Amino acid sequence: MKLLFSALVKFISGLLLVGAFLFISAWSFEYMNAWLFIALLFIPMVILGIVLLVKAPDLLEKRLNAKEEEKTQRGVVAISGLLFICGFVVAGLDFRFGWSRVPTWAVITASFILLLSYVLYAEVMRENAYLSRTVEVQEDQSVVDTGLYGIVRHPMYAVTLWLFLSIPVVLGSWWSLLCFLPYIPLFIVRILNEEKVLEEGLDGYAEYKKHVRYRLVPFVW
């Protein structure tokens, strides 16, 4: 019950904050792209949360814990939060003043990418029971090198990046996309720091890096 209460509080808080940033800046509840985004983001989130609560409550508890111990990661999380606020507010203002004209096909494509990202995100969590939101080496943790982890070393970040970059397009705002683009270098900083922590504290990770060469994008990086 404590875990359920914690999950509900974070879910409702997130829903209210996202709605506030979008609709207050848009100054209208007729911002249909915002309603579309909220449905695409939060309905799968509820489904995934219920599955984790029933099947893997320990993993859900890890995902709810966002308190970072690493100084570098605390900075990344803080900047990430500011980028989200900036992106949502700019998207709302874009709707209000009509700065962008995003074609319907682009919104539909981005919506598909967002949903596909959720599916792949669930697959990553199925493969890796150690998937915490914070950068740490857990007790009895072992290297996961199967499935998506056999393609890139950080499939969670790869999937999350696609999800983040699809958000402003779903919201119908090219200007908001500019606010989300800094996530690319931000993820690079997080990954480099995380790999340093894992290589120092997780047995077998150095060998895993030799076996799976690419961090985020196959044949690129």
Q: Which two tokens stand for residue 112?
A: 């598909």
- Are 79 and 186 in contact by the 8 Å Cβ rule? The answer is yes
Per-residue pLDDT of the chain (221 residues; tens, 9 = 90+): 777 777 788 889 989 999 999 999 999 999 999 999 999 999 988 888 787 777 777 766 766 665 666 666 777 788 888 999 999 999 999 999 999 999 999 999 999 999 999 888 888 877 776 665 444 555 556 777 778 888 898 998 999 999 999 999 999 999 999 999 999 999 898 888 888 888 887 788 888 888 888 998 888 88
CA dihedral 201, 117, 51, 191 (to 10 degrees): 10
- Are 173 and 106 in contact by the 8 Å Cβ rule? The answer is no
Q: Could you tell me the domains of the chain?
A: 2-211 (1.20.120.1630)
- The single residue listed with the structure tokens 């893997």 is 56
- Are 170 and 33 in contact by the 8 Å Cβ rule? The answer is yes
What integer pLDDT is reported at residue 135 of this predicted model? 47
Angstrom distance (rounded) from CA 19 to CA 36: 12
Q: What is the reported pTM?
A: 0.86
Angstrom distance (rounded) from CA 163 to CA 155: 12
What integer pLDDT is reported at residue 10 of this predicted model? 84
- Are 68 and 77 in contact by the 8 Å Cβ rule? The answer is yes
* Secondary structure (3-state) at 213: coil
- The single residue listed with the structure tokens 């599916």 is 119
Q: Which two tokens stand for residue 126?
A: 């199925």
The dihedral through the CA atoms of 64, 69, 72, 75 has a sign that is positive
Angstrom distance (rounded) from CA 58 to CA 129: 9
Q: Which of 191, 183, 186, 201 is nearest to 155 (CA)?
A: 191
Q: Which two tokens stand for residue 107?
A: 């919104």
In residues, how long is the chain? 221
**If you write DSSP's letter for every residue of 134-164 in order, what string do you get?**
S----TT-----SGGGGT-S-HHHHHHHHHH
**If you write DSSP's letter for every residue of 185-218 in order, what string do you get?**
HHHHHHHHHHHHHHHHHSTTHHHHHHHS--SSST
